[in-house]
Amino acid sequence: MVETATKPAATTAEDTPKVTRSGEINGQSQGEIDGFQLIIDALKLNGIDTIFGLPGIPITDLTRKLQRAGLRVISFRHEQNAGYAASIAGFMTQKPGVCLTVSAPGFLNGLTALANATTNCFPMILISGSSEREIVDLQQGDYEEMDQVAIARPHAKAAFRVLHAEDIGVGMARAIRAALSGRPGGVYLDLPAKLFPQTIDAELGRKSLIKVVDPAPRQIPAPDAVQRALELLKSAKRPLIILGKGAAYAQADADIRALVEKTGIPYVPMSMAKGLLPDTHEQSAAAARSYVLPEADVVLLIGARLNWLLSHGKGKTWGGKSPKDWGDRKFVQIDISPQEADSNVPIDAPVVGDIGSCVSAMLGAIGSNWPKPPAEWLNAIAERKIKNVAKMTEALANNPTPMNFHSALNVVRDIVKANPDAILVNEGANALDFTRSIVDMYKPRKRLDVGTWGVMGIGMGFSVAAAVVSGEQVIAVEGDSAFGFSGMEVETLCRYNLPVCIVILNNNGVYRGDEVNTTGGRDPSPLVFVKGARYEKLMEAFGGVGVLATTPAELRSAMQEAMRSRKPTLINAVIDEKAGTESGRITSLNPTAKKK
Ligand code: ADP
Ligand code: TPW
């Protein structure tokens, strides 16, 4: 520590130390430490070993110095992708993912990912270089001038600016705590250019750094809240558990599984909670979702908000007569945020605390003779499951030409089954919905997707981070439109030689590819792309493997080869351009559909 702290840090772009006769190196006395080094030391001290970003003024040297200091610097082609990478690294590791960008435009490019991280409760820190505060506040027109803190604040859980080298330690500590504690989220840390070469006494600098102790403290639920929840669950005739991505994030996998199995309550996983228990688990009611939601009388939510993805807990999805109908159902909600309960419908038994502590408290209180849910309920679910699984099996057995979503995803389903440690990244509309329902997941945190906003563009950023953080094989199932949002990062995949196999379900457009411009004008419909596009050549351009697959057999052998070789691979899986519906399964959210 002292050794690194006293190590002279160079500030020129070339980084060749210039030693003066008075013994100063680059104008910095040997007993001093500069902002660059303090930032690096603060990150290292807190166990942050990977930075996702894109260099340029004023952070170019910082990226070099970070690399030289032994951190992994993953450099992207667009900051948005670096930001998404950081956010999902945070979700996977419970350490804040760090994204480093230049000022104004770089910052703004990263901001979408920061806002998405906050929305999804992913811990992330966006660090951007910025112009001097004196110039920004007087609006004097600096290079890439922008009041970044003010712009970041509404999109982040917290936003901080550090003006003095001696405050770097506090700034970093506050950012880490804000990102990780309570409900995780995105944090913005503003570092003005002038801060980097600022020097202070090395000993003072060393003392100014903070190793954050217990950044995500356990929050133990109140015993009476746990009792209230258990009594309600025990009284249920048709209980149901819904697992959300908060449950996946919490890494309380064994206790969550024990709670589900000891109570015998059927469960439904939200998209990114798939695999928390294997999708093939006999208590999974995913294949009977549209039956269990309206029928359940007591629902236990574990790390899942009653937002649009759960139809706000009311209306027809939940058996209500009108969209506003709350119904008679009771809800138990485990969440770390004390403000989450009652956000849409009354929560009869809120249990506030971290999921690990809440689930273990419940487990401790239920003992070993918890009554199994009534057989009538379990049998009714089993019956629906059998019917729906049979329907799915039939759909998967078809082998139409060209391929459709089912025949292509049947292959992906088999490959994921054979490679349960592989991480599945997924985006698109139909490409998302069909993959979610067709491809079973077997382990926790293996499915990463568009999340709470249903945002397109996470694909390559998530893939890079998943491969870098876990070292596992990644399979990215992408709609052709979805892929386009981050497609240039195939170069990044090749540069870092990451084991990512991209499968583009290519139907020539947004949702589908057969729409025509009915005005008779010369432009194509806004929803279609160049027909027969050869996406696989993009990967070949950078030395990766590109494959055109027009049949399930071709897709299968290409995916098998990708798993074997672990080379960056892009498979252009050509499917019927008439396959797919507008907006996939959320067609009803289109304003025009609502009016009808
Ligand atoms: P999904 O989209 O899967 O339904 P959401 O993102 O809507 O999930 O909900 C996740 C919830 O989990 C959030 O309300 C968040 O506060 C909560 N959460 C995240 N981490 C924890 C944790 N460690 N303990 C308790 N709750 C958590
Ligand atoms: C940042 C709107 C939702 S889904 C989608 C768009 C543009 C693409 C659907 O086509 P794709 O998949 O990917 O080819 P498929 O299988 O249905 O053909 N901009 C952002 N986010 C969203 N969600 C959109 C636009 C959208």
Do 267 and 248 contact (CB within 8 A), yes or no?
no
Q: Please name which ligand lies nearest the alpha carbon of 359.
A: 1
Both tokens of 6, joined, read: 């006293």
pLDDT in tens, 410-421: 999 999 999 999
Mean pLDDT, rounded, for 19-43: 75
Measured CA to CA, the distance from residue 515 to residue 517 in angstroms comes to 7
Mutate to test the pocket of ligand 1, among 183, 302, 458 (most ligand atoms within 8 A of CB): 183
User: When comparing pLDDT for 549 and 30, which is higher?
Assistant: 549
Closest atom of ligand 1 relative to the 451 alpha carbon: 2
Measured CA to CA, the distance from residue 411 to residue 414 in angstroms comes to 5
Per-residue pLDDT band for 22 (boundaries 50, 70, 90) equals very low
Measured CA to CA, the distance from residue 279 to residue 586 in angstroms comes to 23
For the cut 70, the answer to whether the pLDDT of residue 441 exceeds it is yes
Q: Please name which ligand lies nearest the alpha carbon of 429.
A: 2
Of the chain, the end-to-end C-alpha distance in Å amounts to 66
For the cut 50, the answer to whether the pLDDT of residue 3 exceeds it is no
Q: CB count, 10 Å around CB of 522? A: 6
For the cut 60, the answer to whether the pLDDT of residue 19 exceeds it is no
Closest atom of ligand 2 relative to the 510 alpha carbon: 10
Among 16-25, 46-55, 80-89, 274-283, the range scoring the smallest mean pLDDT is 16-25
**What residue segments make up the domains of the chain, in order of their start?**
2-212, 223-382, 398-595
| pLDDT of the residue at 28 | 59
**Cα 121 to ligand 1 centre (Å):** 7
For the cut 60, the answer to whether the pLDDT of residue 227 exceeds it is yes
Mean pLDDT, the chain, integer: 94
For the cut 70, the answer to whether the pLDDT of residue 403 exceeds it is yes
The CATH fold of domain 398-595 = Rossmann fold (3.40.50)
| pLDDT of the residue at 583 | 83
Rg (CA), the chain: 26
- 134-173 burial, b at 16+ Cβ within 10 Å, e below that, comes to eebeeeeebebbbbbbebbeebbbbbbbbeebbbbbbbbb
Equal CATH topology for 223-382 and 398-595: yes
Closest atom of ligand 2 relative to the 428 alpha carbon: 13
| pLDDT of the residue at 292 | 98
User: What single DSSP character describes residue 167?
Assistant: G
Mean pLDDT, rounded, for 260-271: 98
Q: Taking the alpha carbons of 422, 423, 428, 432 in that order, is the dihedral positive or negative?
A: positive
Mutate to test the pocket of ligand 2, among 511, 528, 578 (most ligand atoms within 8 A of CB): 511
**Cα 576 to ligand 2 centre (Å):** 17
Mutate to test the pocket of ligand 2, among 81, 111, 112, 456 (most ligand atoms within 8 A of CB): 456
Closest atom of ligand 2 relative to the 450 alpha carbon: 23
Closest atom of ligand 1 relative to the 310 alpha carbon: 4
pLDDT in tens, 286-315: 999 999 999 999 999 999 999 999 999 999
Do 170 and 208 contact (CB within 8 A), yes or no?
yes
| pLDDT of the residue at 591 | 85
For the cut 50, the answer to whether the pLDDT of residue 14 exceeds it is no
**Cα 304 to ligand 1 centre (Å):** 5
For the cut 70, the answer to whether the pLDDT of residue 199 exceeds it is yes
For the cut 80, the answer to whether the pLDDT of residue 182 exceeds it is yes
For the cut 50, the answer to whether the pLDDT of residue 383 exceeds it is yes
pLDDT in tens, 565-588: 999 999 999 999 999 898 888 888
Mean pLDDT, rounded, for 3-19: 41
| pLDDT of the residue at 133 | 94
Domain 2-212 carries which CATH code?
3.40.50.970
Put simply, whether the predicted model's pTM sits higher than 0.85 gets the answer yes
Pick the residue whose CA is nearest to atom 11 on ligand 2: 479
| pLDDT of the residue at 4 | 36
pLDDT in tens, 131-144: 999 999 999 999 99
Do 109 and 466 contact (CB within 8 A), yes or no?
no
Q: Which CATH superfamily is domain 223-382 in?
A: TPP-binding domain (3.40.50.1220)
For the cut 80, the answer to whether the pLDDT of residue 17 exceeds it is no
Pocket of ligand 1 (CB under 6 A): 120-121, 183-184, 244-246, 249-250, 270, 272-273, 303-305, 307, 309, 335-337, 340, 354-355, 452
| pLDDT of the residue at 595 | 52
> Helix crossing, 35-45 with 168-180: angle to 10°?
40
Closest atom of ligand 1 relative to the 246 alpha carbon: 12
**Cα 250 to ligand 2 centre (Å):** 29
Pocket of ligand 2 (CB under 6 A): 428-431, 454-457, 479-482, 505, 507, 510-511, 580, 584
**Cα 434 to ligand 2 centre (Å):** 14
Do 76 and 82 contact (CB within 8 A), yes or no?
yes
